Amino acid sequence: MKILFVLKERFYNNSLVKSYGLMNSATHVSNFLNFMGYDSKVVMVIDGNSIDKEVYEFKPDIVIIEALWVTPDKMRELIEIKRYQNIQWVVRVHSDSGFLSSETFALKYINDYINLDKPNLTIAPNCDQFTNYLSEAMGVNLVYLPNVIRVERNKSELDKDSPILNIGCFGSLRILKNILFQAICSIKAADRLNKELHFHITLDANLEDGYQPDSATNPVLRNLEELFKFSRHSLIKHKWQHYDEFQDLVRHMDIGLQLSYTESFNIVAADFVNNDIPIITSDAIDWIPSILRTSTTNYDKATDKIVRIYNSIFLKYIKSRMHENLREYSKNSEKIWINFIENTLPPI
């Protein structure tokens, strides 16, 4: 069985970006499938017209298009090519309803894919609850295909003697990520801990929205800069980094924050867990232990959570719970993928 993951190329400052959210997600799944004995490959293409070349050369049994970027007309054209009649085509959706609603043509594309009425075309969100509810709402049978994450544990210890509190709030600078709220709470928490806050963000993670990493075009960044402008605390802005470089950055944090209003998985949270750094999230990231989740709107609750986790005498136990939850999530995801592949037969 051969599986081909296809992503649209992303560029930043005229340079091809080789590591971003979708690429990391697809690579994790592909690596797992290769480990399990399948022949899996991840490719990036300029546009829908370039897919044919990659499919013709690799000759896959399953083609997985990552995200909603291939037009329905192009999808029909590819499916109806005679030499591809035995290929199973999958379009994975990486957004929950919150982020999906900000993409103008998201549900139109899904509707148009469904209306192609092709038995060898599957629409597959990566969020279980969203899959079930959207299937019922639209009267269709969507398939849940979750993220797969390699679970590691790089031991770390908090340096509570340091005068600096490093909090990492990484990810795209989008309103639904709720970063300004997290920065305000972090400042209050640092004051209560008598620490100088270094609030770390990534500038150019929001590639898919076309934002550039400068405050003139990104309101989230501009407001963060103003928040820290006359503060004793610091906003630390990091440029885009390759996957391994980003792991090293995560290891330098004391705490991570991902209090997003909406998420479908959140790879950043998994990176913190793998690097043994406590990560506080919203309920949107439901695989994180409840002890590490807090409100996205209540400043007192979010601030108290940061302080309590930082000072917790049970931090080793909390970290173990993080790892157990991620391991359980990933094992379940692996079973779902294997079951999907084993039960995916070429159309008659």
All structural domains of the chain? 2-145 (3.40.50.2300), 164-327 (3.40.50.2000)
Q: What is the pLDDT of residues 135-165, one digit of tens each?
A: 999 999 999 999 999 898 787 788 888 999 9
- Looking at residue 84, its pLDDT comes to 93
**Any bridge partners for residue 6, and if so which?**
43, 65
The pLDDT > 70 percentage for the chain reads 93
Q: Is the pLDDT of residue 167 over 50?
A: yes
Q: What is the pLDDT of residues 38-82, one digit of tens each?
A: 999 999 999 999 999 999 999 999 999 999 999 999 999 999 999
- Looking at residue 12, its pLDDT comes to 53
Q: What is the pLDDT of residues 233-255, one digit of tens each?
A: 999 999 888 888 999 999 999 99
pLDDT band at 214 (very low <50, low <70, confident <90, very high): low
Mean pLDDT of 27-37: 95
Q: Is the pLDDT of residue 11 over 80?
A: no
- Whether 225 and 88 have beta carbons less than 8 Å apart is answered as no
Query: What is the pTM (predicted TM-score) of this model?
Result: 0.89
- Looking at residue 205, its pLDDT comes to 44
Mean pLDDT of 342-348: 65
Spatial distance between the Cα atoms of 244 and 263, rounded to a whole number of angstroms: 23
User: Which has more confidence, 204 or 179?
Assistant: 179
205: left (phi over 0), alpha (psi -120 to 50) or beta: alpha
pLDDT band at 170 (very low <50, low <70, confident <90, very high): very high
- Looking at residue 10, its pLDDT comes to 74
Mean pLDDT of 85-110: 92
HEC profile of the chain: CEEEEEEECCEECCEECCCCHHHHHHHHHHHHHHHCCCEEEEEEECCHHHHHHHHHHHCCCEEEEECCCCCHHHHHHHHCCHHHCCCEEEEEECCCHHHHCCCCCHHHHHHHHHHCCCCCEEEEECCHHHHHHHHHHHCCCCCCCCCCCCCCCCCCCCCCCCCEEEEECCCCCCHHHCHHHHHHHHHHHHHHCCCEEEEEEECCCCHHHCCCCCCCCCHHHHHHHHHHCCCCCEEEEECCCCHHHHHHHHCCCCEEEECCCCCCCCHHHHHHHHCCCCEEECCCCCCCCHHHECCCCCHHHHHHHHHHHHHCCCHHHHHHHHHHHHHHHHHHHHHHHHHHHHCCCCCC
Residue 197 CA: distances (Å) to CA of 94, 210, 234, 294: 32, 30, 6, 20
Mean pLDDT of 98-109: 90
